[in-house]
Amino acid sequence: MPETYRVGLLGHGTVGAAFEQLLAERADAIAHITGYQPQVTGVLTRSRGDFDEILANSDLIVELIGGIEPARDYVLRAMQAGKHVVSANKLLLATYGEELWSCARSNEVQLRFEGAVAGVVPVIRVLQESLAGAHVERIHGIVNGTTNFILTEMARAGATYEGALQRAQELGYAEADPTDDVTGRDAAAKMAILARLAFSTPVHLDQVPYEGIEHITAEDVAYARDLGLGLKLIGTAERVDGGISVRVHPAFLYPGHPLASVNGSFNAVTIESDAITEITLSGPGAGGAQTASAVLGDVISAMIPPASTPETSEALAIVEDVENAFYLSMEVDDQPGVLAQVAEVLGMQGASIKSVLQRGMDGHARLTMVLHPLLESRFYGAVQLVSRMAFVRSQPRAIRVIEEEFE
C-alpha cells in the first residue's frame, strides 16, 4: 500500500467541498503518479476543527478560506512548520505575496497558487515554468468570469447591466454581493499576481488602478457593435518606458484580437513576447469544480516538488500615464458644426478621430467616435474641455479600445 500523504483543508465552502470530493475520487490515480495516497486528514471551518491539530497531522495545507486574516497567519505558520501550502487566495497573494514567498523560500517549502487566477486556465504554471526563459512584454487577460458573463449577456441579448447581473446570480456565476467582481477589484488582484510573475518585480494590489463595469449601458454595447467592436473587462500588465503598467478597465476589442471571442463565464489570457509572438490560454474561470481542479494540480505538484517562487530580480517603476485608444460618446444639440468643434478641441490635445457615428434623437443627437491612441492624461484633459461646451447635453462617456489584432 502507498504511504498516506496527509492534507489539511482550511475552508469548506464551494471550492473546499469540491476539492475534498475530487481528491477522494482521484486518490488512487494520484498514488499511481506520485507513490503517495493523498487523504484529507482534517478540515477547518468556523464551527469545526482546530488549526494546530490539523497542522500537526498534515504534510500539506490547502488554504481555501479566502480573505486576509486569519488566512495569512495560517499560511505563514504552516510554512514555518515545514509544510507545503496550496492556496487559491488571490487577495492574500496580491497584498502579502512577497512576505509569503519569502517565508516559503526560507523554510524550503512550496507555496502554490494556480487556482488563484483564471480558474482552471494554467497561466501561473506557464509563466513560472514553460515561459520562464521568455522576456514577456505584455499580458492581456479576461480574468473574471462574472463580468465576462454579464457583458456577454448585454451583447447577445441586449440585456441591461442590472438584468444581466441578476441572470448571473441566478446561474451561480455571481455572488449575492458581487462588488469585488463588478468593480474590477477581483481582476486587479489577479493581474498583480500575473505581473509579479511575468516581470519578476514586486507588484501589489494597491498599485493596480481598476475600473469596473457598473456604468456600462446597453447603448454602449449597441454602438460598439455598429463600430465593429466587442466589450470586455480587460486586465493589462505591460512594460512601458523601462517600467511597467498594470491596470484593469472595460475595453473595446476589434474582432481580430484573441480575447474578442471569449464569451460567457470563460477566462482567457494572452501573453506576448518577442520569442513567442503571442499565445492565448482559455478555459472556464468560474465554478467550484474548476478551481478545485487547479488546486488539486498544485497539490500533486507539491508532492513532487520543484523550486518555489524565486525572489524578485528587478525593481521596475510603475508607469501611470500610458497611451490608449478610446471610444467617446456624448449627447449634443442637433445643430451644424458640433462635430467640427468637438474635433477641434480634441485636436488641440493631440487626439485624432478614427471613426465616428452620429444619430438624431428628438432634437438632439448621440455623437460616438473612436480615437487613435494618445496619452490618457491628454485624452481626459480634452474630455474635460469638451464637457464644458454649451451644446453638450450629458457628461461624455469614455471606454478604452485595444487596437491589437493577431492573424
CB 286 within 8 A of CB 173: yes
Q: Rounded distance, CA 247 to CA 238, Å?
A: 9
Q: Rounded distance, CA 265 to CA 173, Å?
A: 7
Catalytic choice (83, 190, 232, 354): 190
Read off φ and ψ for residue 252, nearest 5 degrees.
Answer: -90, 145
Q: What residues are designated binding site for L-homoserine?
A: 175
Read off φ and ψ for residue 257, nearest 5 degrees.
Answer: -75, 135
Half-sphere exposure in the Cβ direction for 53 (13 Å, CA)? 7
Q: What residues are designated binding site for NADPH?
A: 90
Q: Rounded distance, CA 256 to CA 253, Å?
A: 8
Rg of the Cα trace of the chain? 24
190 assigned to active site: yes
Single-letter amino acid code for the residue at 6: R
Q: What residues are designated binding site?
A: 10-17, 90, 175
What is the grid cell recorded at 235?
Answer: 486586465
Read off φ and ψ for residue 11, nearest 5 degrees.
Answer: 105, 135
Which are the catalytic amino acids?
A: 190
